[in-house]
Amino acid sequence: MNIYLKLFTTFFKIGAFTFGGGWAMISIIEKEIVDKHRWIERNDFLDQLAVAQSLPGILAVNISVAVGDRLKGMRGSVAAALGTIMPSFLIILAIAIFLTPDIIKNNPHISAIFQGIRPCVVALIIAPVITSARAAKISWETIWIPIVVALLIWSGWTFISNPILYIVLGGFGGWLYFAIKKHRAARQAAAESLKEGRNKQ
């Protein structure tokens, strides 16, 4: 199958069978592009996920664009993004034409379908959280960080509950941590080199 068509159909399937927004899509996207097609490695997927969450726009579309670009550049990005967007567009168009809010609310069959979907959405959101925590090597020493951040966001305290704050702090903290680590490694290497030079003398 043509790679562009494969990108389109893969992300079309992801977009068509995922309810609950971006986080609910992550486990399905990971299964398709990492486990099934092996387009990118799991660590690369987590990096792409972090970037996609930090950028404006829809999470699933951001990831699809990144994967498409990795495989086939601009054309791959367009094919993957169209595949992700098209199911939502068609479903919303069909709902706008055939279903009104009253029909959705008062029809017992449609209400039952959505009631059944809700628990599945919760599971789809929890699954990538666990996978991401394992891949990020969250330990008992560092698990307090996501817990505290989640509680602060949930608290609703004006500025403190803003997720953007923690994206910026996380990026700055990561940069600072690795900058200090790199600086210490450079100092240690210089000290060892100086020691070897003295020993030779």
The arithmetic mean of pLDDT across residues 16-34, rounded, is: 76
Number of domains in the chain: 2
Same domain, 154 and 130: no
Separation between Cα atoms, residue 165 and residue 153, nearest integer Å: 10
The model's pTM: 0.59
Same domain, 131 and 144: no
Same domain, 56 and 150: no
The type of residue at 179 is A
Same domain, 153 and 164: yes
**pLDDT reading at 44 higher than 80:** yes
Spell out the residues 6+ positions from residue 25 whose beta carbon is closer than 8 angstroms to its own: 14, 15, 18, 59, 60, 124
Spell out the residues 6+ positions from residue 14 whose beta carbon is closer than 8 angstroms to its own: 25, 28, 29, 32, 60, 83, 84
- Out of 137, 152, 173, pick the residue that ends a domain: 137
The arithmetic mean of pLDDT across residues 73-78, rounded, is: 90
Same domain, 121 and 185: no
- Out of 87, 105, 137, pick the residue that ends a domain: 137
- For residue range 62-71, what is the model confidence (pLDDT) as tens digits? 888 888 888 8
Same domain, 10 and 67: yes
Same domain, 17 and 46: yes
Same domain, 200 and 111: no
- Out of 81, 112, 137, pick the residue that ends a domain: 137
Same domain, 84 and 172: no
Query: Which range marks the domain in which residue 125 is found?
Result: 1-137
Helix residue ranges, H only, 17-143: 22-30, 42-54, 59-98, 101-106, 108-135
Confidence of residue 21 (pLDDT cuts 50, 70, 90): low
Same domain, 93 and 124: yes
Same domain, 15 and 31: yes
Confidence of residue 196 (pLDDT cuts 50, 70, 90): confident
Same domain, 81 and 170: no
